[in-house]
Amino acid sequence: MTIHESIGATLHAEHLQTLSAMDALDGRTAGEAKRRPLDALRPEDKQLVEALVAVIDSDVCRHFRFEEEELFPKLEKHGMGDVTRMLIEEHATIKGFIAPLKRLCQTALERPLGKSEWVEFRNLAMDLVNSITFHIQKEEMGIIRGMEMLLDEASCRELVCRYSAY
C-alpha cells in the first residue's frame, strides 16, 4: 500500500463504519421497530445509541474537521474548490442534525424517550441517514478516488501524519 492509498484507505474505512452505523440507525427508526421508542434498558437500543454517538464523534465530527482544516485546502490548490465548498456546505447541514440527535441519545441512555422525543429522534435520524449517505457517495466519487492523482507523495505523507493527530 502506498502513502497515497493509506490516507484514502483511512477515510474510506471511516466512511464504511459511518454507513454501517447509518444502516443500523435506519433499521431501528423504520418499519416495525419505529413503533417502539428507544429504551436503553434494552441492550440492543443501548448498543445502538452508544455506537451512534461514537461514530458521530470520531468518524463524522473528527473526519469533517480534518477534511475542512487539512485535506480540502490542499485539494483547492488543485482546482477542486467548487467540490470542497459543496462538501463543506453539506458538513454544515449534517452538523445541524448532530447536536439535537446527540442530546436525544443522552436522554435515551438515561430513560426511555417519550413519544414526542421519539418522533423528533426519528425525524433527525432520517435526515442524518439521508444526508450523510449522499455526502459519503460524493466524497468517495469526487475526492477519495482522485486524491492520489492530485496529491504528491509528500503531501499524502503529511496528511497521514496530521490525521493521526486529530
Q: Give me the pLDDT at residue 147, please.
A: 82
Mean pLDDT score, 153-165: 88
Q: How confident is the model at residue 150 (pLDDT cuts 50, 70, 90)?
A: confident
Nearest to 104 by CA among 93, 114, 95: 114
With a cut of 70, say whether residue 4 has pLDDT above it.
Answer: no
Alpha carbon of residue 11 to chain centroid = 11
Task: Count CB-CB contacts under 10 A for residue 21.
Answer: 22
Output the pLDDT for position 65: 96
CA neighbor of 13 nearest in space, from 76, 54, 63: 63
Percent of the chain whose predicted confidence (pLDDT) is above 70: 97
CB atoms within 10 A of CB 132: 25
Cβ–Cβ contacts within 10 Å for residue 57, how many? 12
Q: Which domain holds residue 105?
A: 3-164
**pLDDT reading at 54 higher than 90:** yes
The enclosing domain of 103 has a CATH number of 1.20.120.520
The predicted model gives 123-145 an average pLDDT of: 95
Given this model, what pLDDT does residue 112 score?
93
Q: How many structural domains are present in the chain? A: 1
Stated pTM of the model = 0.88
Residue type, 159: L
CB 18 within 8 A of CB 60: yes
Under 8 Å CB-to-CB from 90, ≥6 apart: which residues? 131, 135, 138
Mean pLDDT score across all residues of the chain? 92
- Per-residue pLDDT at 1: 41
